[in-house]
Amino acid sequence: MGTADELFAAQTCGWDQASPASHAPGSRPATARSVSRRQVLSGIGILSAAAVLTACTAPRSPATGTGAPASAAGAPSANPSVSPAQLGSVVTGIDEIQVWQEEFYKDLHRHPDLWGEEARTAQKVTAKLQEIGADEILQIGGGVVGIIRNGDGQRVLFRADMDALPVTEATGLEYSSSEPGKAHVCGHDAHVASALGAAALLARNKSEWSGTYLALFQPGEETGKGAQAMVDDGLVAKLAAVKPDVCLAQHVLTVPESGNVATRSGAVLSAGDRSR
């Protein structure tokens, strides 16, 4: 999704649940006015980890082991009411992660890559996945998949899109886009930083969960061609040994109110409509 019209169309989707974003210990509670960008990244990162953990701790259904897709009703789902306290030590190190996470986000924001040109972003993601300690990193169709193996359990795929939009940023932010005609105005820079933050939390706190985490970074979301490019490059075959039981995705939005995270099972934000 990208344009304001498409965003508006997406807002007509009904959310199943919404809850305040989780926060690092000691941070202020989020409100529409006080929530900071770091808190948003932290909140999404923690919620991402919570979603993954919730999925990982659920028993694998027999059907998922036989190649049949997990049904929406039978698949474990994210629990948005999980708090940092309930997450326990899986959030150990979040303060340290927040520091590089924000810098990573700002770097992507300064250097946006349009669809089909995500080489720099993919390289940055790959380097961070190596630093995090991903067990395997695959380059597929212009995208990147980092795999963190941690014994038996659910295989959970978490997807972030990487591409920017062909617009010129005029926000005046100190980390504004350095390139006229290119800007991260759809939040994909936040998505990448959030997914990497969740990966880092899970990689360093393996004693708190079991299963497999697949962090998938997709090119070309705005055109719909990036997902196809990954499929055409053998995504399904290359992940056959770690076929996900659950797939999760994320998107920043103007709804619900700032500082909240909403979840919905099934397809969401999967199409864009325009009204004139």
Contacts to Zn ion by CB under 5 A? 1, 186
Q: What one-character-per-residue DSSP string does 19-60 give?
A: EEPP--TTPPPP-TTT--HHHHHHHHHHHHHHHHHHHHHSPP
Nearer to Zn ion, 93 or 272 (CB): 272
Q: What one-character-per-residue DSSP string does 90-120 give?
A: GGTTHHHHHHHHHHHHHHHHHS--BTT-THH
Nearer to Zn ion, 45 or 226 (CB): 226
Query: Least distance in Å: CB of 3 to Zn ion?
Result: 10
Query: Least distance in Å: CB of 2 to Zn ion?
Result: 6
Query: Least distance in Å: CB of 39 to Zn ion?
Result: 21
Q: Cα angle at 223 between 167 and 245, to 5 degrees?
A: 125
Give me 127's structure tokens: 């380097």
Nearer to Zn ion, 163 or 245 (CB): 163
**Alpha-carbon dihedral sign for residues 74, 78, 81, 86:** positive
Query: Least distance in Å: CB of 124 to Zn ion?
Result: 19
Within a 13 Å sphere around the CA of 125, how many CA atoms are in the beta-carbon half? 36
Q: Please give the residue whose beta carbon sits closest to Zn ion in the complex.
A: 186
Strands (E), the chain: 17-20, 136-140, 143-150, 155-161, 211-218, 246-249, 260-263
Chain centroid to CA 59: how far? Answer: 23
Nearer to Zn ion, 115 or 209 (CB): 115
Nearer to Zn ion, 1 or 227 (CB): 1
Query: Least distance in Å: CB of 61 to Zn ion?
Result: 31
Query: Least distance in Å: CB of 221 to Zn ion?
Result: 6
Q: Give yes or no for a contact between 91 and 46, defined as CB atoms under 8 angstroms apart.
A: yes
Nearer to Zn ion, 1 or 196 (CB): 1
